[in-house]
Chains A and B, each alone.
Chain A
Amino acid sequence: MSLPDPALSDSVILRAENLGRSVPGKILVAGASFEVRKGETLAIVGPSGSGKSSLLRLLNRLDEPTSGTVYLDGADYRQIPPRELRRRVGMVLQRPFLFPGKVADNLQFGPKQRGQTLSPTQIAELLAGVGLSGFESRDVSNLSGGEAQRVSFARALANSPEALLLDEPTSALDEAAKREVETLIRQIGQEHGIPCVLVTHEAAQAQRLAERALVLEAGQIGRNGPVKEVLHA
């Protein structure tokens, strides 16, 4: 991989260096090196089983790399306590996995882990940011799929992350809900400047949302660069 442009290197939030993970008898990810800059969305695309989600899970250390490392704001993430790392690098999964109870309780979950509490105003702002104003007291069991996924975005944002990892966040949603979540992902990058790493199996979605893309094939990065160049190659 080419060296980063010195003019842009200050804005690099996440940098994976020779990142890999193998389990007995199988290489899941091998030698992945790439950067994610402030405000941009990087799409990871590739066929099923190519290692997209495995690579994403290495970025917040939900799985342990067997080679290489990740730098968060220039610091080797192995030197950062895992709980702090995951607070700083948020994640939204394919299914929202909301905790039983009210929407507001879900938003409080992350801050509570650090002994902090969000004020009602902060909760209202977070919900407004995902288009769910007034949902504070709603029970999560009464939410639609799209609403639940937007709550999971708000819950991740409640931790004030420096980067967000999105693991196929629209694949379980219908078309209308999918468009709403895509709008939300654009806002996160443009308005909050939070870089996103988006795993998707849809090349069209990658083109709609990402500035850059990397293609994974059998755990290895095949192509990496501006989304239009990579996906039209």
Chain B
Amino acid sequence: MLKTLFHGQLQLGLAQAGVAALTALLVAMAAARRGIHLEKDLAIAMARGLVQIVAVGSILLLLLRGRGWTSVFLLMAMIVAAGATSARRAKGMPGAFQVSTWAIACGAGSVIALMTALGVIDTPITALVPVGSMLIANAMNTNGLALNRFRSDVLAHVGEIETALALGADGKNSVSPYVQVSFEASLIPAIDSLRSLGIVWIPGLMAGMLLSGARPIYAAIYQFVLLAMIFAASGLTSLISTLLIRARVMSPAEQLILRPGQ
């Protein structure tokens, strides 16, 4: 229907974006009727996302024609931005930005470096940046989920944690049960993606590879490769961030810093 109304690619794209955004807003409005207010967050996130992706797309056009080493700086900038974004899911947790950035840098960064060194990810900037960004983005989501779950669990179990502290428990051990649960919960989307690969979900990269002339069987295998790398990057990121953050919610005198109303 839209294609009959809009003939230019840009106009069609904007119209499609408008319809998709409207659908998302309708869902947010339905949630608002049940007392869950996501409208403001969603509107800002969508506006930001659209501006960012168009801006980055324009910049990438220039950068992808640049030298190979520039991809390192691009990926580093993405890691810092990912750290800042997922830290917002850990409101009130001291050092969430540093923890997130380090975790994503070590988790996603090390998987990208290893896979590039082994030749699993191609080195040209046109391959390294898009694949690397997928690993970073997924690591960011996993990290956000882990920190958010950890924060809620700690706030819901202040009594249990302080009881353990009052009995002479070590600060880190007192919050350990919640570290484990947060780690497991954060990896559910990555595991489900792997499990449903090809049945529920066909990643966009496969379509791109097919369009650019890759053999269908190689394109299919590479989707598995990609998801396995995403799981490795996300898992390592979540493991590092949950281990780092558990020390941040305790003071040097082993007092719980993260408490309701603080």
Give A residues with C-beta under 8 Å from B. 23, 60-64, 82-84, 86-87, 90-91, 93, 95, 97, 99, 109-110, 113-114, 152, 155-156, 159
* Bound Cα distance A82, B187 (Å): 35
B251, CB-defined interface residue at 8 Å: yes
CB within 8 Å: A-B pair count: 58
CB neighbours (8 Å) of B166 from chain A are: 60, 62, 86, 90-91, 93, 156
Interface residue from B163, B169, B173, B255 paired with A61 (Cβ < 8 Å):
B255
Partner among B160, B167, B173, B251 whose Cβ is within 8 Å of the Cβ of A64 = B251
Question: What is the 8 Å Cβ interface bit string for chain B, positions 232-262, against chain A (1 contact, 0 not)?
Answer: 0000000000000000000101111000001
Q: Is B184 an interface residue (CB 8 A)?
A: no
- B162 at interface (Cβ–Cβ under 8 A)? yes
Contact call A99/B254, Cβ cutoff below 8 A: no
**Pairwise interchain contact A156-B167, C-beta atoms closer than 8 A:** yes
Q: Is B170 an interface residue (CB 8 A)?
A: yes
Chain A contact residues, majority secondary structure: mixed
Q: Which of B147-185 contact A (CB under 8 A)?
A: 159-160, 162-170, 173
User: Are A159 and B255 in contact (CB-based, < 8 A)?
Assistant: no
Interface on B for A, CB 8 Å cutoff?
159-160, 162-170, 173, 251, 253-256, 262
* A63 to B253 Cα, complex, angstroms: 9
**Cβ–Cβ < 8 Å partners of B262 in chain A:** 23
B233 to A: closest C-beta gap in Å: 34
**Shortest CB distance A52–B (Å):** 16
- A97–B160 CB distance below 8 A: yes
Which A residues touch B164, using CB under 8 A?
A: 99, 109
Query: With the chains together, A200 CA to B252 CA distance in Å?
Result: 30
Decide: A62 and B169 in contact? CB cutoff 8 A. no
B163 touches A97 (CB 8 A): yes
Kindly report which residue of chain A lies nearest to residue B254, judged by CB atoms. Answer: A82
Extra A-B contacts (5), CB below 8 Å, given A62-B256, A93-B166, A114-B168: A62-B166, A64-B255, A86-B165, A93-B163, A110-B168
In the bound assembly, the distance between CA atoms of A177 and B32 in angstroms comes to 45
B162 touching A159 by the CB < 8 A rule?
no
Q: When the two chains form the complex, which single residue of B167, B168, B256 contacts A84, counting CB atoms closer than 8 Å?
A: B168
How far is A23 from B159 in the complex, measured between Cα atoms in Å? 20
Q: Can you give 25 contacting A-B residue pairs, CB < 8 Å?
A: A62-B165, A62-B255, A64-B253, A82-B255, A86-B165, A86-B167, A87-B167, A87-B168, A91-B166, A93-B166, A97-B159, A97-B163, A99-B160, A99-B164, A109-B164, A109-B169, A110-B168, A113-B169, A113-B170, A113-B173, A114-B168, A155-B167, A156-B167, A159-B167, A159-B168
User: CA separation between A68 and B157, bound complex, in Å?
Assistant: 30
Contact B254 A83 (CB under 8 A): yes
Q: Closest A-chain residue to B168, C-beta based?
A: A87
- B167 contacts which chain A residues (CB < 8 A)? 86-87, 90, 109-110, 113, 155-156, 159
A62–B254 Cα distance when bound, in Å, is 8
CB distance from A135 to the nearest CB of B (A): 19
- Shortest Cβ distance from B90 into chain A, in angstroms? 21
User: Which A residues are CB-close (under 8 A) to B170?
Assistant: 83, 113
How far is B163's CA from A7's CA once the two chains are assembled, in angstroms? 36
The residue on A at minimum CB distance from B261 is A23
Name the 5 nearest CB pairs between A and B, nearest first. Answer: A87-B168, A91-B166, A97-B163, A110-B167, A82-B254
Kindly state the separation between the CA atoms of A87 and B168 in the bound complex, as whole angstroms: 5
A97 surroundings in chain B (CB, below 8 A): 159-160, 163
Nearest Cβ on chain B to A145's Cβ, whole angstroms: 15
**Chain A residues near B163 (CB, 8 Å)?**
93, 97, 99, 152
Of chain B, the residue at the smallest CB distance from A86 is B168
How many angstroms between the C-alpha atoms of A86 and B255 in the bound complex?
A: 11
